[in-house]
Structure 1
Amino acid sequence: MAHPDEADSALTVTRETSASRDQVWAVIADGWTYSQWVVGNSRMRAVDPNWPAPGSTIHHSIGVWPLLLDDHTVVEDCEPKRQLVLLAKGRPFGKARITMRLEDTADGGCRIDMAEVPVGFPMGWIPERLALAAAVPRNRECTKRLAAIAERRPPSAVDQ
């Protein structure tokens, strides 16, 4: 399993939820929910039937109509119910590597860790700490949305 360095950043966003790790993973593994919990994504266009297997993609749009850009996100690595590493392509701003980790909590819930770093030009050229600091508020909201969706998902609906 790959272990991206950015996943251990001091600026990694962490959120605990009462939802189980299975419930959280079920949301992540349903690529069609991506635009519901990822800030900035406005609509889904297609989800690879193999999502979230390594190499699979989801096609989405970012922005607000009429200023929409079509982009896609690729799974770089996946350990089901534990870790997902994505490469999100956000034209014209470049790419970002997102690492999500899930761990059980003592009370039966789940801890969600989310780290994001820019890669490549142009965002990859700005100081990393500045780029990470800019991503923290966005990722706080992403993990808040992810937890809220997972908490509403009945455990019996979890099939992955």
Structure 2
Amino acid sequence: IVLTASSDRLLQQIIASLHREFSMTDLGALNYFLGILVTRGSSGMFLSQRKYAMEILKRAHMLFSSTTDPLIAYSDVDCAGCPTTRRSTKGYCVFLGNNLLLWSSKRQPTLSRSSAEAEYHDVANAVVETCWIRNLLRELHTPLSSAT
């Protein structure tokens, strides 16, 4: 049984109550559970499945592979495309090589004063998503060799 509480004192009270009712062994602080590494810090708990991910890569013979495909993002805006509200429809897609990783198409919630402003809002969203994917690839030890 994994136990957690809002304070150490409360946790110790729960453990003591369980000891009185049942024969059990307290294994102490949780470190590893169901393949998940548990690390505690001042801001909370961090759960990691790095070992599991590395085992999958090893089984697939991809442990030391690296990508050479570029990360490419496209964005476009249909400025004031809605005839009744004059709102723009924006969209972007992000590819890694030939593979579509993510896309979005939405009507902008506010009116843009110019097509440049509408394009800027869309490009900003595409850049945020591209940076997130780039950082994810870096954490997976697959950094991109060129700027995106």
Normalised TM-score (structure 1):
0.24
Normalised TM-score (structure 2):
0.26
- Higher strand residue share: 1
- Choose between structure 1 and 2 for higher RCO, CA contacts under 8 A separated by at least 6 residues: 1
Instruction: Specify the structure having the higher radius of gyration (Cα).
Output: 2
